[in-house]
C-alpha cells in the first residue's frame, strides 16, 4: 500500500490532474474577485452564483485535503517534513479547511484570501516550473550582492551631491538622506527632465546652477 500510494502520487497523470484542479480553483477565485459586490441580491443574500462558488470552494478544499493525505501517507513523517513544497501544501490546505468550517471567525476574510494562494502549489507539481522557481531562489543571494553594490554607488553619488549642490538645491541635496532620495529618483528616470540644471547669472556677473525637481 505504501509503495502504491507513492507511485500514484508521483505519476504524471495524477500530478497533471492536481495541476488542472489548482488552475480551476484559481479561475474560480479570480471570477469571484471580478464579480465582487454583484454576488448578492438587493436583500444582501448570496446569489445563485455565489452559492455555486461556495460549493466549488468546498469541493476544491475536500479534493486538496485528500491529495494532502495521500502525500503524507506516501512520504511518511520525516520525508514529508523535509520537503518545503509539502509543508506549503499543508499550510494552504489547513487555512482553507479553517475558512470553510469556521465561517464565524472575525477575520474570516483573511483566511479566505489565502485560497487564491493555492495556485502557487502548481509550482511544486510541474518539474519544469519547479526548476524555474529553484533557479530564482538560488539567485536571491547574487541579486542581494548586486543590490548592495548599487546602494554603495548610489550613496557615493549622494555624498557628491551634498558636497556640490547643498547650497543651490537644499531641498534636494541638503543632507545625505535627501540626496539619496533625489539620486534614486534620478536613477529611476522619474524626474530626468525636471532635474536638468538651469544656469542663472547674478547681478555681479557670476553664474550659479539651480536644480529644481518636479
DSSP-assigned beta bridge partners for residue 199: 209
Q: Last residue of some domain: 83, 113, 138?
A: 138
Q: Which cell goes with 3? A: 509503495
Q: Within 13 Å of residue 59, how many CA atoms lie on the same side as its CB?
A: 11
> Based on the domain organization, do 134 and 172 belong to the same domain?
no
> Based on the domain organization, do 105 and 148 belong to the same domain?
no
> Based on the domain organization, do 67 and 98 belong to the same domain?
yes
Q: What is the CATH number of the domain that holds 101?
A: 1.20.120.350
Domain count for the chain? 2
DSSP string, 16-44: HHHHHHHHHHHHHHHHHHHTTTSSB-TTS
Alpha helices in 35-83 (DSSP H): 48-81
Task: Kindly report which listed range (30-34, 168-172, 196-200) carries the lowest average pLDDT score.
Answer: 196-200
> Based on the domain organization, do 61 and 132 belong to the same domain?
yes
> Based on the domain organization, do 74 and 151 belong to the same domain?
no
> Based on the domain organization, do 133 and 169 belong to the same domain?
no
Lookup result for grid cell 479570480: 30
DSSP string, 88-137: HHHHHHHHHHHHHH-TT-TTHHHHHHGGGGGGGGGGGT-HHHHHHHHHHH
> Based on the domain organization, do 41 and 130 belong to the same domain?
yes
More confident residue, 155 or 129: 155
> Based on the domain organization, do 67 and 112 belong to the same domain?
yes
pLDDT at 110: 64
Q: Last residue of some domain: 138, 168, 191?
A: 138
Task: Kindly report which listed range (52-56, 107-111, 117-121) carries the lowest average pLDDT score.
Answer: 107-111
How confident is residue 107, by pLDDT bands cut at 50, 70 and 90?
low
Tens digit of each residue's pLDDT (9 = 90 or more) over 67-100: 999 988 888 878 888 888 788 888 888 888 887 7
> Based on the domain organization, do 51 and 117 belong to the same domain?
yes
Q: Last residue of some domain: 123, 138, 153?
A: 138
> Based on the domain organization, do 82 and 172 belong to the same domain?
no
Find the domain containing 68 and state its range: 2-138
- Mean pLDDT within 198-213: 62
How confident is residue 145, by pLDDT bands cut at 50, 70 and 90?
very high
| CB-based contact 122:23 (threshold 8 Å) | yes
pLDDT at 199: 59
> Based on the domain organization, do 99 and 67 belong to the same domain?
yes
- Tell whether the model's pLDDT for residue 167 goes beyond 70: yes
pLDDT at 149: 95
Residues above pLDDT 90, as percent of the chain: 12
pLDDT at 86: 84
> Based on the domain organization, do 18 and 112 belong to the same domain?
yes
Amino acid at each position: 500500500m505504501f509503495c502504491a500510494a507513492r507511485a500514484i502520487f508521483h505519476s504524471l497523470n495524477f500530478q497533471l490532474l492536481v495541476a488542472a484542479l489548482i488552475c480551476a480553483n484559481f479561475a474560480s477565485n479570480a471570477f469571484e474577485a471580478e464579480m465582487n459586490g454583484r454576488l448578492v441580491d438587493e436583500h444582501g443574500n448570496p446569489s445563485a452564483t455565489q452559492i455555486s462558488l461556495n460549493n466549488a470552494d468546498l469541493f476544491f478544499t475536500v479534493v486538496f485535503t485528500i491529495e494532502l493525505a495521500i502525500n503524507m501517507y506516501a512520504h511518511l513523517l520525516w520525508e514529508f517534513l523535509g520537503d518545503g513544497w509539502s509543508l506549503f501544501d499543508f499550510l494552504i490546505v489547513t487555512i482553507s479547511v479553517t475558512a470553510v468550517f469556521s465561517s464565524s471567525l472575525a477575520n474570516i476574510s483573511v483566511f479566505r484570501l489565502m485560497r487564491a494562494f493555492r495556485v502557487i502549489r502548481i509550482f511544486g507539481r510541474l518539474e519544469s516550473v519547479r526548476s524555474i522557481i529553484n533557479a530564482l531562489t538560488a539567485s536571491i543571494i547574487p541579486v542581494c550582492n548586486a543590490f548592495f553594490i548599487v546602494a554603495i554607488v548610489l550613496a557615493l553619488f549622494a555624498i557628491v551631491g551634498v558636497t556640490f549642490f547643498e547650497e543651490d538645491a537644499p531641498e534636494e541635496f541638503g543632507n545625505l538622506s535627501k540626496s539619496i532620495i533625489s539620486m534614486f529618483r534620478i536613477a529611476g528616470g522619474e524626474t530626468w527632465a525636471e532635474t536638468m540644471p538651469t544656469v542663472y547669472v547674478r547681478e555681479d556677473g557670476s553664474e550659479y546652477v539651480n536644480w529644481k525637481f518636479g
